[in-house]
Amino acid sequence: MLTTSFHACYSSRSIAVVVIQLQKTGSLLLCEEWERDSLAGPKGRHWYRTHELAWYILKRFNTHLKIEEARRFFAHANSAKCCVNNEGRKKAPRRLFRNCKRYLSGELKVLDPDILVTQGDEAKNAVQSMNNGIVKRIDKFASIVTLNRKQIFWLHTYHPGNYGKFNPQRNFDNTIKVAVGWEYYVSKIHDFIVGKSA
């Protein structure tokens, strides 16, 4: 069952990570995604960057986790539920996001995340429309919010396809081969999860 299969273990507690993206691309099914090698393509692509961010988060709690294993420990949700197959993979019309965002609340109740990552403004707007209270703002991208009657860590990123903004947020340091931007947020996430467990 999906609600338990993507939890990563930390000590005696499991941690649920959910990434919300803009829309489905094509007719990708969950089982296809699990079997697909998301790391086989170019490292600058959307799917690789999504898995890389999840891996950065999860490896703080499981230091032996390999990037290719990360896909089994986080779930995707989409702010738009279908694909209009726009030419050149262009973004779907706004009405699609308006019509579909009402379903996200039910998905998040089932997935019950401890860490929520939104990619792009449509995903961010869908989460904001659920009117969850911000408990603590860390910076313009990270907050502690209330969802499903519990506090969770919410990280908003630019969409990986928005290279001009996503890459500076990721802030990869070629000298030390680390995404310094992700490491900053991962340390905040770790502090939050450890503080909840104490």
The H-assigned helical ranges of the chain are 2-5, 30-35, 46-59, 94-111, 121-128, 163-170, 180-197
* Residue pair 25/90 in contact by the 8 Å Cβ criterion: no
pTM score, two decimals?
A: 0.83
Q: Which domain range does residue 6 map to?
A: 2-197
Q: What is the mean pLDDT of the chain?
A: 80
Three-state secondary structure call for residue 46: helix
**Using one digit for the tens of pLDDT, what is the confidence trace for 56-112?**
999 999 999 999 888 888 888 877 666 666 676 666 677 777 777 778 888 889 889
Nearest-5° Cα angle at 28, 142 to 39: 65
Q: How would you list the strands of the sheet with 150-157, edge to edge?
A: 75-80, 17-23, 115-119, 150-157, 142-147, 134-137
Give the mean pLDDT of 157-169: 93
Check residues 23 and 150 and name the one with the higher pLDDT: 150
What does residue 61 show for φ and ψ, rounded to 5 degrees? -100, -20
pLDDT digits (tens, 9 = 90+) for 123-162: 888 888 886 788 999 999 999 999 989 999 999 999 998 9
Q: What is the CATH number of the domain that holds 169?
A: 3.40.470
pLDDT of res. 30: 44
pLDDT band for position 165 (cuts 50, 70, 90) = very high
For the chain, what is the domain count?
Answer: 1
Q: Are 77 and 123 in contact (CB under 8 A)?
A: no
The answer to whether 91 touches 105, Cβ cutoff 8 Å, is no
For CA atoms 93, 95, 100, 101, the dihedral sign is positive
Spatial contact of 15 and 115, defined as CB atoms under 8 Å apart: yes
